[in-house]
Amino acid sequence: RWSGSRCEGQALLLDHAAALALAQRRTKADGVAWRLPHLKELQGLARQGAKPADALGAWLPNNPEGWCWSATANVDTRTINEYSYENVKRGVTAENMARVQFMHAWAVDTRTGEARKDALKRSQLLVRLVRPLD
């Protein structure tokens, strides 16, 4: 929760849809365009937070550590080889691969800046909302 000068309260663990809904509710309540950060923004914040001497303290006080949702869409345009042994073994086809990609989103580890594109959207991850500068 943003108090006007700092983040306060407990970090929320939500699934991806609930995280997006939270941003919409905060936007309506505050009249400010709150949103989930994009992948590169979140990685930048995580890397800045890893610097010594409290470099990020003014931006993200009491920053929770762990996997955090990103707003970046998971787009995978690779061609699926349906005859590959690994794909056959896993049951992957061009048709079901599109559905599997829809169930995943990008997440960032706030400790390291590491990103992964295969976080299940139903997983409970940390939520960090950002807004435009005043």
What integer is the mean pLDDT of 23-48? 90
The pTM is what? 0.72
Beta strands across the sheet bearing 104-109: 13-14, 125-126, 67-69, 104-109, 115-120
Residue 32 structure tokens: 């400010």
Reported confidence tier of residue 88, pLDDT bands at 50, 70, 90: confident
- Tens digit of each residue's pLDDT (9 = 90 or more) over 52-69: 444 444 455 566 789 999
Chain mean pLDDT for the chain? 80
Distance CA 77, CA 94 (A): 10
Let me know the angle formed at the C-alpha of 131 by 71 and 41, rounded to the nearest 5 degrees.
45
Distance CA 106, CA 122 (A): 12
Distance CA 106, CA 67 (A): 10
